[in-house]
């Protein structure tokens, strides 16, 4: 049965399960329940009633947005699910964002080629400095 891409938020439990499975930190479920609904857009990959992947857009809705939490359970990676999620994210961005909206993301190490297919560029380069994160 193919995976269905659904516009919805994962539950806090699903969110933490996905993040933990790909080696990312997990969060307090109350915090997740409060913050996820503030996402501008979110899609989940659902297979046999189970959320096996997700991706979302966060930001102010016009000036700056970030693609966030693109993740697929390891046992379902390599099957095109991440591509389906990103295709939906990119369609949303094209439809909803102004032509000069800054759209960023922070790629997991080694996943840069996946995002380059969508037009994202690595930093630093001749035009942009390094992306940074507060630890």
**Residue 19, both tokens:** 């993040």
Contact 46, 4 (CB under 8 A): yes
Query: In this predicted structure, what is the pLDDT of residue 133?
Result: 82
Mean pLDDT, contiguous 10-residue spans, the chain (135 residues): 93 98 97 98 97 98 96 97 98 96 94 96 91 85
- What does the pLDDT read at residue 94? 97
Per-residue tokens: 32:
């997740």
* Residue 131: predicted pLDDT: 86
Give the SS3 label for residue 94.
Answer: helix
Helix (H/G/I), strand (E/B), else coil: 64: strand
Decide which of 3.40.50.970, 3.30.460.80, 3.30.300.30, 3.40.630.30 is the CATH code for 4-116.
3.40.630.30
Q: Check residue 1 and give its pLDDT.
A: 66
């Amino acid at each position: 049965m193919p995976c269905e891409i659904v516009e919805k938020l994962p539950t806090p439990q699903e969110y933490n399960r996905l993040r933990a499975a790909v080696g990312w930190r997990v969060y307090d479920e109350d915090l997740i329940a409060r913050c996820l609904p503030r996402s501008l857009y979110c899609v989940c990959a659902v297979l046999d009633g189970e959320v096996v992947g997700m991706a979302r857009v966060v930001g102010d809705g016009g000036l700056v947005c970030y693609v966030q939490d693109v993740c697929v359970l390891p046992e379902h990676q390599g099957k095109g699910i991440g591509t389906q999620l990103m295709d939906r994210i990119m369609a949303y961005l094209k439809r909803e964002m102004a032509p000069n909206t800054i759209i960023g993301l922070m790629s997991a190490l080694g996943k840069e080629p996946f995002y380059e297919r969508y037009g994202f560029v690595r930093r630093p380069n001749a035009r942009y400095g390094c992306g940074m994160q507060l630890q």
